């Protein structure tokens, strides 16, 4: 018997809602990565085609530029216990100072400041410092100089909760750490993968380059803000969390040249898209390291991105609004309904869409 669908909620967000059968939520990626399915959406007329990601190189327009996010995911999920024996789980969010991290802590209601937490089967320990009104916790980790080494050895990939839910049980730690990382990953700092990049394999990248399509790398460290649900009634009142991004001077110079030449800029993922649009200032793309809280929704006019490769997103999410700003809400909703009818796999480990 099919499981119950994810239901839409009441309010203005209903225009970005859809019902998704739970069995279409991907609990793990396909193998090889490039064998995932790909829905192609024409942003001008809404026409839909059905294809596979491995054919992407032949579908990219000659002379176009592919922009990818090279952010690398931290093994940021740390299951553990209190001294009382109570089960907890820590999700690293952002390092505030050396060894001091802003975190989400599951089952933190009774934890008092000063309590020591034992994490990852006693391999990592941290002192609970404080908890604010929004539920954000501060933890001070022992041995901060070797924390990242310890995370690589003992912590888990910060998979979205919906994957854990549909799986019912824990998968192999090493397998998840590999699967939840793109082939472009090189810059440590994300607590979620730029999932559109998960479809790329070395062979697809090589074929893209053989077709004389340039690949440029930028960095946006994905944080909780990308997935924060909208709780306000007025869309303009929603505040995105800030995320750190960087565009090197060489990449910015190249992108500005491409813009002047009128060539297509194809963004791989909503994170790369938000980075590029955030960097646009006074008619050009700026280089440097900055913070962004950009919230893209209709009728936003894109300044940099022409085409987008992206996964299928959660109903009523800010990411649904971003893709609707590029391709039109009606076109997006029609494409999603066709994807559901044809049983595409959804969300982080799912299939993808090429909006061109």
Q: How far apart are CA 252 and CA 244, in angstroms?
A: 16
Q: What is the pLDDT of residue 322?
A: 96
Answer yes or no: is pLDDT of 4 > 60.
Answer: no
Residue 183 backbone dihedrals phi, psi, to 5 degrees: -70, -15
Contact of 290 with 243, CB cutoff 8 Å: no
> Which helix (H) or strand (E) covers residue 254, if one does?
helix 249-261
Q: What is the pLDDT of residue 150?
A: 96
Answer yes or no: is pLDDT of 347 > 70.
Answer: yes
Answer yes or no: is pLDDT of 349 > 70.
Answer: yes
What are the extents of the domains in the chain? 5-73+180-355, 77-154
Q: Dihedral through CA 356, CA 59, CA 270, CA 321, nearest 10? A: 30
- Give Cβ neighbours of residue 244 (< 8 Å, ≥ 6 apart): 189, 220, 221, 289, 290, 291
Q: How far apart are CA 275 and CA 267, in angstroms?
A: 10
Q: What is the pLDDT of residue 7?
A: 40
- Average pLDDT for 291-309: 95
Answer yes or no: is pLDDT of 8 > 80.
Answer: no
Q: What is the pLDDT of residue 162?
A: 86
Helix (H, G, I), strand (E, B) or coil at 106: strand
Q: How far apart are CA 148 and CA 16, in angstroms?
A: 38
Could you tell me the CATH superfamily of domain 77-154? Answer: QueA-like (2.40.10.240)
pLDDT, tens digit, for every residue of 255-282?
999 999 999 999 999 999 999 999 999 9
> Which helix (H) or strand (E) covers residue 97, if one does?
strand 87-97
pTM of the model: 0.91
pLDDT, tens digit, for every residue of 69-89?
999 999 999 999 998 999 999
- Average pLDDT for 303-312: 98
Contact of 44 with 355, CB cutoff 8 Å: no
Angle subtended at Cα 173 by Cα 169 and Cα 176, rounded to the nearest 5 degrees: 85
Contact of 218 with 70, CB cutoff 8 Å: yes
* DSSP-derived secondary structure for 19-77: -EEGGGB-SS--SSGGGSEEEEE-TTT--EEEEEGGGHHHHSPTT-EEEEE-EEE---E
pLDDT, tens digit, for every residue of 137-167?
999 999 999 999 999 999 999 998 888 788 8
Q: How far apart are CA 136 and CA 53, in angstroms?
A: 39
- Average pLDDT for 186-190: 94
Answer yes or no: is pLDDT of 102 > 50.
Answer: yes
Fold classified for 5-73+180-355: QueA-like (3.40.1780)
Contact of 280 with 304, CB cutoff 8 Å: yes
């Amino acid at each position: 018997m099919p499981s119950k669908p994810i239901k839409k909620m009441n309010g203005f967000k209903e225009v970005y809602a859809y019902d998704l059968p739970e069995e279409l939520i991907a609990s793990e990626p396909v193998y090889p990565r490039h064998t995932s399915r790909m829905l192609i959406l024409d942003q001008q007329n809404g026409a839909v085609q059905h294809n596979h990601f491995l054919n992407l190189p032949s579908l990219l327009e000659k002379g176009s530029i592919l922009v990818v996010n090279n952010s690398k995911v931290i093994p940021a999920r740390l299951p553990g216990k209190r001294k009382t024996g109570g089960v907890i789980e820590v999700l690293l969010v952002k390092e505030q100072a050396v060894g001091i991290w802003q975190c989400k802590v599951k089952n933190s209601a009774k934890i008092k400041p000063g309590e020591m937490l034992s994490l990852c089967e006693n391999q990592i320990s941290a002192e609970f410092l404080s908890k604010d009104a929004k539920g954000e916790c501060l933890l001070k980790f022992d041995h901060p100089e070797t924390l990242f080494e310890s995370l690589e050895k003992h912590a888990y990939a910060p998979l979205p909760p919906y994957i854990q839910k549909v799986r019912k049980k824990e998968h192999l730690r090493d397998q998840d750490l590999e699967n939840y990382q793109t082939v472009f990953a090189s810059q440590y700092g994300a607590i979620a993968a730029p999932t559109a990049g998960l479809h790329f394999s070395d062979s697809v990248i090589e074929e893209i380059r053989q077709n004389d399509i340039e690949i440029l790398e930028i960095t946006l460290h994905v944080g909780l803000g990308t997935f924060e649900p909208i709780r306000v009634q007025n869309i303009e009142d929603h505040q995105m969390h800030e995320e750190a991004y960087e565009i090197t001077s060489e990449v910015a110079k190249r992108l500005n040249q491409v813009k002047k030449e009128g060539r297509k800029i194809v963004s791989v993922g909503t994170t790369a898209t938000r980075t590029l649009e955030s960097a646009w200032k006074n008619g050009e793309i700026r280089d440097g390291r900055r913070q962004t809280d950009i919230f893209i929704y209709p009728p936003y006019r894109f300044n940099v991105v022409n085409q987008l490769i992206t996964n299928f997103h959660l109903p009523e999410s800010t990411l649904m609004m971003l893709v609707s700003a590029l391709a039109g809400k009606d076109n997006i909703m029609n494409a999603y309904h066709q994807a559901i009818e044809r049983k595409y796999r959804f969300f982080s480990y799912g299939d993808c869409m090429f909006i061109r």
